[in-house]
Amino acid sequence: MASAVIPQVKDVDIDASGVFKYILIKLSSAASDGKLVDKLIVRGYAECPFHADINDQVTSDLQKLKSSKVIQDWRTKVLGGGRIQHDPEDKKILVYGYSQGYGKADHQLTVDILKTAYPDYSITYSDEGY
C-alpha cells in the first residue's frame, strides 16, 4: 500500500517471510507543484547481508523510477535500522535490534508503517537484541 505522498513508492517493501535486516528511510521528492514532500518507508531484504546493501538497493530502485520519469528528483536519509522477523503463517512481525552503521531505527515508527501494509497482522517491537 502506498500513501498519498509520493504514491509511486510503496511505504513497505520487505521479504515475504524470515528474519532479515531492515532500514527506515526518509524519502523526499518534489510534488507536481514543485514543493518538497517527505514520507517514511521501510525496506528489508534477506538477500542484503548489510544494512548499507539495502540502502544501495533502494537507491537503485529510485534511480530507475527517476530515469523512467515516474518520480522527479529525490533524496533519502536512512534514519536507522534493525531486524525483522516475519512469520506469515501466524501473521506476526517482530521488529528489533539495530544497525551498526546507521544506529537503531525508531521501531515504533516502523511498526506503525508496517501496520498500514499488514493490517491483519500482530506487529510488535523490542529494543533488545541485535
Whether 51 is catalytic: yes
35 in a known ligand binding site = no
Task: Report the half-sphere exposure of 52 (CA within 13 A, side-chain side).
Answer: 2
Rounded Cα distance between 88 and 71, Å, is 31
Rg (alpha carbons) of the chain, rounded to whole number: 14
Cα–Cα distances in angstroms (integers) from residue 54 to residues 13, 34, 36, in the given order:
11, 28, 24
Which of 11, 29, 40, 51 is flagged as catalytic?
Answer: 51
CB 81 within 8 A of CB 49: no
Could you list the residues known to form a binding site for substrate, using ranges: 21
Catalytic amino acids?
Answer: 51
Could you list the residues known to form a binding site, using ranges: 21
